[in-house]
Every structure is written in structure tokens, then in C-alpha cells.
Amino acid sequence: MTMTPARYLVVDRLAETADTVTLTLEPVDRPLPVFRPGQFAMLYAFGVGEVPISISGRSGAGGLIHTLRAVGAVTRALAAVQPGAIIGVRGPFGTPWDLPAPPGSEVALVAGGIGLAPLRPVIHHLIAHRRRYRRAVVLIGARTPDDLLYPDEFDTWRAGGVDVHVTVDRADAGWPDHVGVVTTLLDRCITNPGQVAAYLCGPEVMMRLTARALIDRGVAAAAIRVSLERNMRCGIGHCGHCQLGPLLLCRDGPVVGYPVAAPLLAVREL
Amino acid sequence: MRATTERLRTHPFLAGLDEESLERIATISTVVALDAKTWLFREGDPADRCWLIRSGRVNLDVHLPGRGEVIVESLGAGAVLGWSWLFPPYRWHFDAVVVEPTSAIEVDGIQLRALCQTDPKLGYRLGQMFTAVLIERLQATRLRLLDLYGPPR
């Protein structure tokens, strides 16, 4: 079952940025089992190849939403598909985000670049269960204002009780939000370090520095989870392409507790 | 309004200073409320003050011919704005504009320099504190130079 792609129909394609699109998929046959936030699918562009892409949302009963960036042959092919096309999907694979977080938590999501996509279902969870948590904060870092994902959704998220803060690396005057690295926003989201549950997704350097900054502010390492990425191929822990030390990230990740991830991230070329 | 030691102590930058040092800094500090769109300084102007931001936001800008103002960095609650008063030639390197109504503690840089010279112990301590801010900003700048969110190469 997990090795044979299921056929999914592309029912919507939204260009998020110059190189990033969001695809909405509906099953042609039986839908795959329910994906949990943080898990990923292997998306297959027929005749080109397969890539691992985290879910960035659900559509209806069996539909999937994936946001992907065109960076290689397969992702370029997938980013170019139009509504009406059929692609292959395998999954769900990997470990999900730890949800729900403990009641009364201050949930802090820190996203860098395309890393916002795997955290988007967590934002949907926070809105749906907002009363469970003491605070819900999303810190978003991007290269420029034009590179922000889902900017039209920020107000909806805020209306749902999620505190959204945005920063970019570069901006011209007129940009109304922050300019600087995402760690400079951390003090806005931590009022009770002992209550924080943090979910980080973005470039590894960004996650490492954010995790360190959180720990410096009193957040327990065990309360921090990161989403790691390696060369996932089979999705079921057999081929070994995604090995990171003792982990096979397609099976033991992508979501990993920081106490496990920290020593692995410190090893060069691992 | 003159800043009190209680108010100074609540700013994270000064939180570790002893009471006597805070009292001396309080004599050369005022609490200011800054309206949005206020220019605090322009590139090349004499640098004679610094601000400890309590709330709001200030942008450091630079003017690029043909492109206009480009934001170099935003500074918000808890940040220190301005260190050019500490080092020759005591001139600002960028422009600073208030982008949100901002509350800050404004410290007289010339008097603070004099204070550091007459009290080397305090001067050394403040030197360490400002250096820590400089290092943090340098590391953040290096991270942005890495262009982590850019296309993979």
C-alpha cells in the first residue's frame, strides 16, 4: 500500500510566490489514510520522479493541501501542474507534531521560509482549540515581503486568537512589519518559559539558533520540537537515504524532539 | 520626564546593573514618548544619545540612490538603539525613524561617556554590555548574509 502511489486530482493551484505554489488534491480512488499535521507525502510527478512534501492543510474529507517550492526537476514539474492534472501520492509518512500540546501551554510556532507550510495545520489546530491554550503565537521569518507564504490568511489567524508576528531579512521603506532575524521576535512570545511548547520549522541553522535562544530564555529543551529534512525516498525506513545518525527521518522524523535533534545537528555532514 | 532607577531596572539592557550605577545613569536619562514618523537621527549627524526602547518600534534605514529608503533593521521593545555616541567619530551611520508610537529611555551619550571615564569600573561594565549588543547584532547580520531562505544552491 505505501509503495504504490494513489492517484490524486489537482483541483486547485495557487501561486504563493515566484517559486512556490499550493496544490489542492482530491483522491481519484480511495483516499489515503488521514495525514496528521507534520507528516509528509511522497508526491509523484509521473515520468519525472517523487519528492517528500509535508501537508500544509486538508481539503474536505479526503483532500490534501501541499505547498511546495520549485527547486529541482521534480518540484518544478509539480509546481507546473494545472487543475485537472493527475499526480501520484504515497503516505502518510513520518512523525507528526506533538498535538495537542499540554492544556494551558503557551504554544509558540517559529517558521522560516517554506517552513511555514508544515506548521500551517498546527495553526489550524490552535484556532480550533484556542481555549485549550494560554497563548498561541506564530513567528514568521521570510527573505522579503514578496516571499511570505499565506499573507492573506494572517488576519484570519489573528481573528482566531493566534498572535502573528512577521519579520523579513530585507525590505524597502513602507514595509509595515519587522526587519531582522526571527530570533529577535522571541521575546514577544515568551512570558512564561516553563509553559512554552515550541514548534520550529525552517532552515536547520535557523532552527538551531532559535532553539538555543529559547533555551537561553528558560524554555526546556524537551518542550521544543523541530522538523528535519533529509533525502527521503522510500518513506518507510527501508532504503536509508534519509539517515541522520541513528534516525531514519522518513520514519523517525521529520518531527523530532530537540534533545534528540540537537547533538545530530551539531555534527558536520551527518 | 527624568528616568527613575526603578524604570531603568525594568529595561533588560540595564537589569544587571547595581543600584549606584543605575542612580548615576538616571541623572542623565529621560523617559520619552516618540510619535510615529519621527526621525531620531540622520546618517552623518553627530551621535550624542542612545535609546533603550520600552515599547514600539524604530527602523534603521539607509537611503539608496534610485531605490529610496531601505530598512536595515527594526528595533523593538527591549532593544538598545544607538552606539555611535560611544566610538569616534561620534556620527550616526544610518537614519532612524519611529514607525510605531514608541516609549523609550533616552540617555545622554556625551555625559555617559564622561561618566565612563570618571568611573572606569562602570565604564568597563557598560563597555561589556554594549559589546554584547554589538555581537548579537553582528551575528544576526551574518545570518542574514547567509540568505537562509534563498533558493538552494
pLDDT at A219 over 80: yes
**Model confidence at A95: pLDDT above 90:** yes
Q: How confident is the model at residue A270 (pLDDT cuts 50, 70, 90)?
A: low
Of the partner residues A71, A171, A173, the one whose CB lies closest to the CB of residue B151? A71
Look at the alpha carbons of A69, A73, A78, A80 in this order and tell me if their dihedral is positive or negative.
Answer: positive
Closest partner residue to B68 (CB to CB) among A143, A173, A203 is A173
Q: Quickly state the pLDDT bin for B52 (edges 50, 70, 90).
A: very high
Q: Does domain A106-264 have CATH number 3.30.470.20?
A: no
What is the predicted ipTM? 0.88
- Domain definitions of chain A by residue range: 6-93, 106-264
In chain A, the percentage of residues whose pLDDT exceeds 70 is: 99
pLDDT surpassing 60 at residue A113: yes
pLDDT in tens, A131-142: 999 999 999 999
Q: What is the structure's pLDDT at B128?
A: 95
Q: Does A20 touch chain B (CB under 8 A)?
A: no
pLDDT for A169 beyond 70: yes
Taking CA atoms, B80 is separated from A156, A181, B38, B44, in Å, by 33, 16, 17, 19
Residue B47: its pLDDT value, please?
Answer: 97
The pLDDT tens digits of the residues spanning A114-136 come to 999 999 999 999 999 999 999 99
Please determine, for residue A4, whether its predicted confidence score (pLDDT) is greater than 60.
Answer: yes
Q: How many CB atoms lie within 10 A of CB B117?
A: 10
Residue listed under C-alpha cell 545518525: A245
* A105-124 residues touching B, CB cutoff 8 A: 112-114
What pLDDT, on a 0 to 100 scale, did the predictor assign at position A230?
84
C-alpha cell at A89: 501520492
pLDDT score of B94? 95
The interface residues of chain B toward chain A in range 63-82, judged by CB-CB distance below 8 A, are: 67-74, 76-79
Spatial separation of the C-alpha atoms in residues B41 and B47, rounded to whole Å: 8
Name every chain B residue with its beta carbon within 8 A of the beta carbon of A206. Answer: 143, 148
pLDDT at residue A265 is higher than 70:
yes
Task: Report the CATH superfamily, name and number, of domain A6-93.
Answer: Translation factors (2.40.30.10)
The whole-number average pLDDT for the span A66-85 is 96
The answer to whether the pTM exceeds 0.95 is no
